[in-house]
Amino acid sequence: MNQKLGKASINLEQPVYIINSASVVGKKEGEGPLGLLFDVVGEDDMFGCNTWEEAESSLQKDAVFLAMGKAGLKPEDVSLIFAGDLLGQSIATSFGISSYEIPLLGVYGACSTCGESLALGAMSIAGGFADKVICVTSSHFGSAEKEFRFPLEYGNQRPLSATWTVTGSGAFVLGSENAISVNNNVTASVSEGVSLPARAKILGMTVGKIVDYGLKDSMNMGACMAPAAASTLEQHFIDFGSQPEDYDKIITGDLGTVGQKVLIDLLRERGYDISGVHMDCGIEIYDAATQDTHAGGSGCGCSAVTLSAYILKQLEEGTWKKVLFMPTGALLSKTSFNEGQSIPGIAHAVVLESLVKN
């Protein structure tokens, strides 16, 4: 039996496999430390489109196309797609993935959406509701600045606590088997009859709640999200009876350098020292010193592309055996911000394990 664990966690009876995945990023992400690992790096951030929003949609479309191709699947092989982005009414998703005609369950958790989609996708497979599932999320620097702060043409200054929204989309194909036999030669890269091993497995998840410390600075979202990350992480340790050292890495989505410090401090107060194992996708994806990205990367796409390109690679190679992947989201809109509301946070954690035996 699948098992509800403690207050907010789920332990899967059978693991769910990340069969394959893909990442598509913009020019700046391609120039960063992980640049060589992404599947596709755009020549510019418009990706041949007329608007930032359309460009973001094309990121999702391409990431899903590549992930399906690498897994040897066609759209009709996919039972469900869990998808979302940061834009109002998730329009990057609506206009990005419609052509695949896959039954869609739209999700919203701000920048935690990648974690939420993986959690729900894994549940839908573990519960017997779906055979193959795709989880996709995206963000785009231009569309996000326009949506949340100022259009780029305004040329506003950015404080050092600000993060830089990643232009990118990561898509993941989930299934119940740890290898997939390719029966239909849909891409040149995958030959008929070949059996492809999965990239990693999902063992369980901790679903986050909204945590609001009353912070209001949309230029310091790391600090806004860190309390939610601390809450989910503490709950995860309690529910699973685990400790920081049970994981090779505990990976947040986009806290950046400011949020990382807050998270480590908050958890230290609660008796957990994660300083030795903590990693943040937002810190990894750019070289802040040379790329002028200040506190780090952020956005739905940040954790998604880092998971696909970098984290799953480490699990695949067995460098890491077990990690906790926990994207973090800041729950604001320009309306709530302009009306003086605070910026609550949320974080969802997914337990990932390597398929490499010792």
**Footprint on this chain of a copy of itself (rule: CB under 8 A):** 1-4, 7-8, 10, 51, 53-54, 76, 79-80, 84, 86-91, 94-95, 97-98, 101-110, 116, 119-120, 123-124, 126-131, 146-147, 207-212, 331-336, 339, 341, 344, 346
- Which CB, 127 or 159, lies closer to a copy of itself? 127
Q: CA-CA distance, 346 to 216, in Å (whole number)?
A: 15
Residue 248, Cβ density class (10 Å: 0-12 exposed, 13-18 middle, ≥19 buried)? middle
- Which CB, 147 or 284, lies closer to a copy of itself? 147
> CB of residue 91 vs a copy of itself: minimum separation in angstroms?
5
| Distance, C-alpha 298 to centroid of its chain | 10
* Closest alpha carbon to 15 in 198, 171, 137, 195: 198
Handedness of CA 148, 153, 159, 165 (dihedral sign): positive
Q: CA-CA distance, 100 to 98, in Å (whole number)?
A: 5
Q: What's the distance, Cα to Cα, between the start and end of the chain in Å?
A: 27
- Which CB, 97 or 352, lies closer to a copy of itself? 97
> CB of residue 212 vs a copy of itself: minimum separation in angstroms?
6
> CB of residue 5 vs a copy of itself: minimum separation in angstroms?
10
- Which CB, 97 or 198, lies closer to a copy of itself? 97
> CB of residue 242 vs a copy of itself: minimum separation in angstroms?
18
> CB of residue 266 vs a copy of itself: minimum separation in angstroms?
17
Determine contact, residues 135/85, Cβ cutoff 8 Å. no
* Closest alpha carbon to 287 in 31, 12, 44: 31
Determine contact, residues 11/241, Cβ cutoff 8 Å. no
- Which CB, 254 or 284, lies closer to a copy of itself? 254
Q: CA-CA distance, 271 to 11, in Å (whole number)?
A: 24
- Which CB, 12 or 288, lies closer to a copy of itself? 12
Determine contact, residues 56/92, Cβ cutoff 8 Å. yes
> CB of residue 237 vs a copy of itself: minimum separation in angstroms?
15
- Which CB, 80 or 136, lies closer to a copy of itself? 80
> CB of residue 153 vs a copy of itself: minimum separation in angstroms?
15
